[in-house]
Chain A
Amino acid sequence: MNRRLALMLCVLALAAIPAFNALPADHPLHAPDFLVSVVGKWICYAILALAIDLAWGYAGILSLGHGAFFALGGYAIGMHLMRLIGPRGVYGHPVLPDFMVFLGYTELPWYWLGFDWFAFAFLMALFVPGLLALVVGWLAFRSRITGVYLSIITQAMTYALMLAFFRNDMGFGGNNGFTDFKELLGMPLNTSATRAVLFYASLVTLVLVFWGCAHLTQTKLGRVLTAIRDAESRTRFLGYNVTQHKLFVFVLSAMIAGLAGALYVPQVGIINPSEFSPGNSIEAVVWVAFGGRGTLVGAVLGAFSVNALKTWLTSVAPDLWLIVLGLLFVIVTLVLPKGLIGLLRRRGP
């Protein structure tokens, strides 16, 4: 009961940020714009952390490629945002986005069709990561590829996608990706009102995903996943089709990551292939490890705390960040196997 109250207070505290931002700029409690956008980003990261925790913390699937699912979700919504620019691009082409005009496209590639509808783009932000996870997961789990081998395969997956998206002839803007977005669902993106709306949409999604994951892990499926994590062959011997269960949770996790990416891109206003870089996926795993894997609160706490540290450190000593990130990982592995949440619980009653 106490825990639930604490969680609700945290959500309320987050929800207050855009409200304080709406106060007049000379008000002592005024929250600056950057705080809204930076915390809005962290909320998306927290959703990604929940996705990773569901697969890794509960089912033992250590994916080092979840950044790819996140980026694919972001690209899907990015394509919609590009279509909404319409003739307002630098080149003023009535249909084609600027980068296509620049690259000499004469018509929209077939895979861009449908992205002028928000609902379609939103569904694709879930569907494409889910489909990729289904194919990669099916190939890997069917062949009983587990542990570090699976991690390497997923890492290779995100790296391959990064190289592919860097190519101009993929039709996704190459190196530069998508940017210069104008509006979403009729709201101009550069106003604080829209920022607040996106912030609240992300916060509500975080709460819903958290609630859904909490529910899932309490069901028998959650216990089967734990059983698979701890003794995969024994679970198989009990008559469970382990491949199906792992595939289910991996696809679900990829879709949650895609959702996080879809909420992220309108807030940061850009998506490019660097989102696929292997380092991003590893960093996201560090959030979960640092916060405490196998607990949902730990994943969220990890995403917020590591990113807060990153935001602060990259402004005061940008060169140190990667070293600190590496150190964090080493320290957590050596001294805090249960992460921050394990530390808090040990100290607590």
Chain B
Amino acid sequence: MSSAKSLNGGLYVDGVTVTFDGFRALNNLSLLVEPGELRAVIGPNGAGKTTMMDVITGKTRPDTGIVRFAARDLTKLDEAAIATLGIGRKFQKPTVFDALTVFENLELALKAPRGPLACLRWLLSGEARARIEATMEQIGLAARCQDLAGLLSHGQRQWLEIGMLLMQEPELLLVDEPVAGMTDHETEQTASLLRGIAGSRSVVVVEHDLEFVRALDCRVTVLHEGSVLSEGSITHVQADPRVIEVYLGR
């Protein structure tokens, strides 16, 4: 059963090209993320990292190429359908509901009927409560359960947002620059949080911070001018002369 589920979590991107007014944002990009894998994507500004996220989540349509997830062709689906399919995306800027508690934020994100009348009648079941509590434990906010989200630190807000994504039970998580603006300690905790999430779900992290990527301890893909420049362990890519030339530039 777990293998059947994890089979669904694989992402397959092949030969994807996206052009904006003649500028090739993605150029014959190919990427394979195994089910349950944690993958870091790095690259200089303009390398196509965000465009890649946009293509996977249906925000941008590729000119050519194949994007498949759970044996479904994502290029034919819109954003909502892709989200329903189990792909969750965390944007750079965290948005949580400040006037609600940590618990209530997660409760709103929990998979449940979303209509006004369903919300009016909604009663928190023991199972739902257990899921929310488990997620709070996972994102390290169990102690802040009844605190308003507005009182959380920047790093904690990022975790809450990741937790809200988890409540929607995605099979693939796309996480855009999760540690921007975090303290070293928070960055470390975020790395272990994401490592913990991977395994049951696939996680793709886009990040600039190389220390953080090293802490993720996973396969790294380096993008440059819209295609894959190098791939492998962080030690491997950091030793790759092409990577040193275009990105690390030292």
Q: A: which residues have CB within 8 A of B?
A: 216, 219-221, 223-224, 226-227, 229-231, 234-235, 238-241, 244-245, 248-249
Contacts and interface: CB of A to CB of B under 8 A. Distances in A.
Given A227-B97, A230-B98, A220 B107 contact: yes
Nearest to A231: B95
B22 interface: no
A224 B115 contact: no
Interface of B: 80, 83, 95, 97-100, 104, 107-109, 114-117, 119-122, 164, 168
Contact of B100 (A226, A239, A248): A226
Contacts of A227: 97, 100, 108
B164 A238 contact: yes
Contacts of A221: 116, 119-120, 122
A221 B104 CA distance: 11
Given A223-B108, A226-B97, A239-B168, A245 B116 contact: yes
A42 to B, nearest CB: 30
Contacts of B107: 220, 223
Contacts of B99: 226, 229-230
A168 B60 CA distance: 57
B108 A248 contact: no
Given A221-B120, A248-B117, 18 more contacts: A219-B119, A219-B122, A221-B119, A223-B100, A223-B104, A226-B100, A227-B97, A229-B99, A235-B97, A235-B108, A238-B109, A238-B168, A239-B83, A239-B168, A240-B108, A240-B114, A241-B114, A241-B115
Contacts of A249: 116
B98 A224 contact: no
Which of the listed residues B97, B100, B104, B107 has the most CB atoms from chain A within 10 Å of its own CB?
Answer: B97
Contacts of A226: 97, 99-100
Contact of A231 (B97, B109, B114): B97
A308 B164 CA distance: 47
18 contacts: A219-B120, A220-B108, A220-B122, A221-B116, A221-B120, A223-B108, A226-B99, A226-B100, A227-B97, A234-B95, A235-B108, A238-B108, A238-B109, A239-B114, A240-B108, A240-B114, A244-B115, A245-B116
A235 B95 CA distance: 10
Nearest to A229: B99
Q: Is the interface of A mostly helix, strand, loop or mixed?
A: helix
Which of the listed residues A231, A234, A238, A249 has the most CB atoms from chain B within 10 Å of its own CB?
Answer: A238
Contacts of A241: 114-115
A36 B115 CA distance: 43
B151 to A, nearest CB: 14
Nearest to A248: B116
A225 to B, nearest CB: 9
Contacts of B119: 219-221, 224, 245
A240 B114 CA distance: 6
Pairs of residues from A and B, 5 with the lowest C-beta to C-beta distance, nearest first: A248-B116, A221-B119, A220-B122, A234-B95, A221-B120
A234 B99 CA distance: 14
Contacts of A224: 108, 116, 119
Contacts of A219: 119-122
A346 B157 CA distance: 27
Nearest to A294: B99
A230 B108 contact: no
A244 B97 contact: no
Contacts of B98: 230
A223 B97 CA distance: 10
A229 B119 CA distance: 16
B116 A230 contact: no
Which of the listed residues B83, B114, B117, B119 has the most CB atoms from chain A within 10 Å of its own CB?
Answer: B119
Contact of A244 (B100, B116, B164): B116
A240 B109 CA distance: 9
A129 B58 CA distance: 41
A248 B114 CA distance: 13
A216 B100 contact: no
A234 B160 CA distance: 14
Nearest to A215: B120
